[in-house]
Amino acid sequence: QVQLVESGGGLVQAGGSLRLSCAASGRHFSMNTMGWYRQAPGKQRELAATITSGGSTNYADSVKGRFTISRDNAKNVVYLQMNNLKPEDTAVYYCRSWPFPGDYWGQGTQVTVSS
């Protein structure tokens, strides 16, 4: 069982920054790919960024150059640094961990960007 707890969401003006954190329980963190996904009202959940156990990263085109995903294996935490935020970034942001011992999701943290 893995528990994922997101934090760092909030209300920010367009052009501002936020850093999301996701703290993971368990002993498999360093072996797992970690991801940040987001779901805007009325839309499907979509990928924002992922980072593999080896540190390779992948970003959605919509966030490239503005968001940075990173991880601290000593602390079992994955981060999402979000800069130059836009109103269209408004969504609930979810943390995901896989594949050991399974596929787990956090409860999400709300990010609201005002224009």
Q: What is the mean pLDDT of residues 2-12?
A: 97
Q: What pLDDT is stored for residue 61 in this prediction?
A: 98
Distance CA 32, CA 66 (A): 24
Q: What pLDDT is stored for residue 43 in this prediction?
A: 97
The pLDDT tens digits for 47-105 are: 999 999 999 999 999 999 999 999 999 999 999 999 999 999 999 999 999 999 999 99
Q: What is the mean pLDDT of residues 15-41?
A: 97
Compute and round to an integer the Cα radius of gyration of the chain: 13
Distance CA 111, CA 32 (A): 25
Are 12 and 113 in contact, with CB atoms under 8 Å apart?
A: yes
Q: What pLDDT is stored for residue 84 in this prediction?
A: 98
